[in-house]
Amino acid sequence: MNKLTAECIGNYISRNGNVTFRYKVSGSPEAMQAYEDAQGEYYTVDDATGNVLWFTTRFCGDKATLVVSDKGKVYADMTEFHKQASLAKQFGGNLGQELARAAASKLTGKPAEAPVESEKIDA
């Protein structure tokens, strides 16, 4: 199993109307060769930058780990995200909400904003 680093460099709307995220891929020479072999005709290099690219309709974070399995499949390792989602679901309520907020912050690489309290209205 080969692991690579993927960095989100943007997104676009595909012809079928799907949001597609574009990732720049990097890794060891062996991992990059495994990635190229696994992608086959879908292996893409940006002509302007020379960056190797990976496309997905699922946001995997600003930085992600890509895995090339022994069977030649490429996927984002979402283990940590699934752990966090499981904890948020397990605990629910305010604790679950805060766990989800922290997980989203980690996934996007941006600090979570504190919830905004609504004004109380005397009726």
Structure tokens at 42: 């879908």
The predicted structure's pLDDT at residue 102: 76
Name beta bridge partners: 25.
6, 52
Residues 6+ apart with CB under 8 A from 95: none
Dist. CA 79–CA 77, nearest whole Å: 6
Question: Each residue's pLDDT tens digit in the chain (123 positions)?
Answer: 789 999 999 999 999 999 999 999 999 999 999 999 999 999 999 999 999 999 999 999 899 999 999 899 999 998 887 787 787 788 778 777 877 777 777 666 666 665 555 555 555
Dist. CA 91–CA 93, nearest whole Å: 7
Residue 65 is inside which H or E element, if any? Answer: strand 63-68
Single pTM value for the model: 0.75
